[in-house]
Structures are given as C-alpha cells and as structure tokens.
Amino acid sequence: AKEAGRNNFQFFVPEMNVRARERLMLENALRRAIERDELSLHYQPQLRADDGRLTGCEALVRWLHPEMGAVMPAQFIPVAEDSGLIVPLGEWVLRQACRQQAAWARAGLGGLMVAVNISALQFRRADFTGAVTRILAETGADPAWIELEITESALMQPSTELHERLVALGRMGLTLALDDFGTGYSSLAYLKRLPISRLKIDRSFVKDLPGDQEDAAVASATLSLGRDLGLEVVAEGVEQPEQFAWLQARGCAKMQGYLFARPMPADEFARWAAAHDPA
C-alpha cells in the first residue's frame, strides 16, 4: 500500500506542478496588468421592472492581456483572491467606477446608480472603510450614487465589527446590496438587522425560470422576503421575456440581463443610456 501510495504521489506531482505554474504565471500577469492599465470596466444596465426605465448599472471588470486576449473574471478573480491581489485590484475597480460616476454626473448623465462588486476578502479588511473614504474624496464621486455589492458569503460569520462596518458605510451615504443571494446560508434573523437595502437574486436561480420548480421556489421566497423586510430585489441574468414576466408578476423591482443589454464599455453605455432613456 505504501509502495502504491508513493507511485501515486510520483505520478501526481508533475501534474500539480503544471497547474501551480499556470496559476503563478496568471498571478504574475495579473500583477503586471494592474500596473500596466490592462484592466477596464464594463457597465451593464439595470432597469426598473414596472416602466423599463434605466436606474443604474453594475461595473464588471475586464482584462485584455496583450497575448492571451480577453480574460474573463471567472478565470482571474479566484486567482486574485487566493494571492491577495484582489485588494489592489478591488481598489482599482472602486476608484475607476467612482471616477466614472463623477464624470457621468459632470456630463449631465446623473441619477445613475453605479454598483461595484466587493470581494469578501476586501470587505473583511480592517481598513476597508478607510479605503472607500479615500477613494470617494479623491474621485469626487457622490456616495448617494455608489452601491456596494457584497456577497452573501462575505457576511456569513457576522461579527459586531463587520456589522458596524456596514452601518458606517451606510452612514456615508452608500447603498448596500447583498449579492448572489440564495447561494449562501445567511440567517434570516440576522438579515433583518443588516443595514442593507437590496437583495440580488443570483443568475443561477434565474436561468431556468419559470420551469424549474426549485429555482422558482428560491426566487419566490427571496421576493417575499424582500417585501417583508422592505428590501428592494434585483434579478440578474434575465435573458428570456418569460423570465422577465414571471419576476415582474411577483414584484421584482429591478432587472439586469442580456434581454436588455450586455455589459459594455463606458462610452457605449453612455450612448445606450441616452438612446434608451431620452430625458
């Protein structure tokens, strides 16, 4: 048994090395990307369900590597989280989104909420509130139009400190949303006390609506929870008119998805916004 174990081990090592080497390469490339301006943000519209008006957007990071081409967040966000690079990357994203909010406001495209994804690791750092304060001051963004999307999993072990951090961010005028709702297991008793104003139904519960019974149950439960707790519910990943109709009939306030628009670069978003919602 020992012999076999050793053989297995020897067989396994080169494979592990390849994967570890790939990760390290990606990590180094990502570190350079942050310095070399290879990252950019795309913005995906969010619309009000009842009248279809544009209310804001979600900022989503993109990486254009000179040789690898477009690298999607699903590939590099996990690497950034494992290596700690998510902290400088997350700050870059927040700064860029805040700059964009300020620029749109100056250009007369105000009144649009800009939602920014905050990684659990980023949110759990003691200096998070300080970083946000600095970035707001530096960019001149209006906190009333900045929303932080914090994943349900980031709030899984709710300490007094994290709770107070949310309260402080709310007092600064920021809007707080619970992202990927339904994928974690937050206690409902805790949810009631959280100073958040929105819940985002994860795309995994939207994509098989209205046919899938379990997904329909989760989405329905989230919508009634939102109603009971006075939280606005946003559905992401809406692709089909049937999904839109189903969600709208159950009181979902806002929607985001390919049915309306894909994430797009800032200038394209501004044109889309002007054409969609002529003021």
In the block, which residue shows the tokens 């870059």? 92
Beta bridge partners of residue 198, listed in sequence order? 177, 232
Strand partners, 242: none
Stretch that binds Ca ion, among 44-52, 84-92, 204-212, 242-250 (CB under 5 A): 204-212
Smallest distance from the beta carbon of 237 to Ca ion, in angstroms? 7
Cα 100 to Cα 75: distance, rounded to the nearest angstrom: 25
The residue length of the chain stands at 279
Q: Kindly indicate which of the ranges 14-22, 235-243, 247-255, 269-277 contains the residues binding ligand C2E, using the contact rule CB under 6 A.
A: 235-243
Mark the segment that binds Ca ion (CB under 5 A) among 7-15, 47-55, 158-166, 206-214. Answer: 206-214
Q: x/- contact string, 146-185, with ligand C2E (CB under 6 A)?
A: ---------------------------------xx-----
Q: State the Cα–Cα distance between residues 86 and 106, nearest whole angstrom.
A: 30
> Could you tell me how many residues of this chain bind ligand C2E (CB under 6 A)?
22
Among the listed residues 135, 236, 254, 269, the single contact to ligand C2E using CB under 6 A: 236
Picked from ligand C2E, Ca ion, none, the partner binding residue 96 (CB below 5 to 8 A depending on kind) is none
Q: Is 98 in the site for ligand C2E (CB under 6 A)?
A: no
Closest CA to 243 of 263, 260, 224: 260
Using an 8 Å Cβ cutoff, are 263 and 60 in contact? Answer: yes
Q: Which of 33, 47, 54, 60 binds ligand C2E (CB under 6 A)?
A: 60
Q: Is 239 in the site for Ca ion (CB under 5 A)?
A: no
Binding part of the chain for ligand C2E, among 17-25, 140-148, 182-190, 234-242 by CB under 6 A, reads 234-242
Least distance in angstroms from the C-beta of 271 to ligand C2E:
19
Q: Under the criterion CB under 5 A, does residue 3 sit at the interface with Ca ion? A: no
- Of these, 61, 101, 136, 179, which contacts Ca ion (CB under 5 A)? 179
Closest CA to 255 of 42, 55, 41, 43: 55
93 scored as a contact of ligand C2E (CB under 6 A): yes
Q: What's the CA gap between 166 and 195, in Å, rounded?
A: 6
Chain CA centroid to CA 69, Å: 23
Residues lying near ligand C2E in the complex (CB under 6 A): 44, 60-61, 72-74, 77, 90, 93, 117, 119, 179-180, 203, 236-239, 256-258, 263
